[in-house]
Amino acid sequence: MLLNLKWFEFYGTSKSICFKNAPMLRNVNMYLDPQVLTDPSPVCSNVTKFFHYMPSLQELELSGSTLEEIVGDDVEPDIQLLRAQSISCGVMKMLQRVEMQGFTGFEMEMEFMKIILASAPVLEEIFVWNMVHYIHQGTKMMDEMKQFPRVSPDVRFIFEEAYADPEFP
């Protein structure tokens, strides 16, 4: 049983990830391989579909490609679903911290952050790791995010550079 699961970390490829029976889950770290398979299930394999089942979520870490690869090119249905869930269920009411790695500013990533900011009343921090070669784009994204409407007045926006080559400082 997953009823008492409080922390979940996953790296790799999966056809199906489902949090339907994990209402106590507080921390989620997901780094899905870009070749993750999609599943038409209403509760599995899609980041925008499983937030409804995590009412206790406090910390969320995602690789940027997780959103883009799962959703694909047609982002509007997933954005609408996430908006509906966040409004109707208060699914992000306990979310305090979000960390995005490899965040590049794709439409789904920005819409996802917009919805989080508008739906998470106790959000304290958004931490973004961006590759050095996207530094200008990253600064622009953070400036844009700071303009999004938000329900938590004291959100800190932190932006860090990441190097792709381990030989860099």
For residue 2, tell me if it sits in a domain: no
User: Which strands make up the sheet holding 7-12, listed edge to edge?
Assistant: 7-12, 27-32, 59-63, 97-101, 125-131, 156-162
CATH number of the domain that 68 lies in? Answer: 3.80.10
Q: What is the pLDDT of residue 149?
A: 92
pTM higher than 0.75: no
pLDDT tens-digit series, residues 124-135 = 999 988 765 555
Strand segments, DSSP code E, in 13-169 are 27-32, 59-63, 97-101, 125-131, 156-162
pLDDT tens-digit series, residues 28-81 = 887 765 544 444 554 444 555 566 677 788 998 887 555 554 444 555 665 666
pLDDT tens-digit series, residues 102-113 = 777 777 778 888
For residue 16, tell me if it sits in a domain: yes
Q: What is the pLDDT of residue 58?
A: 92
Q: What is the pLDDT of residue 168?
A: 45
For residue 150, tell me if it sits in a domain: yes
Range of the domain at 63: 7-162
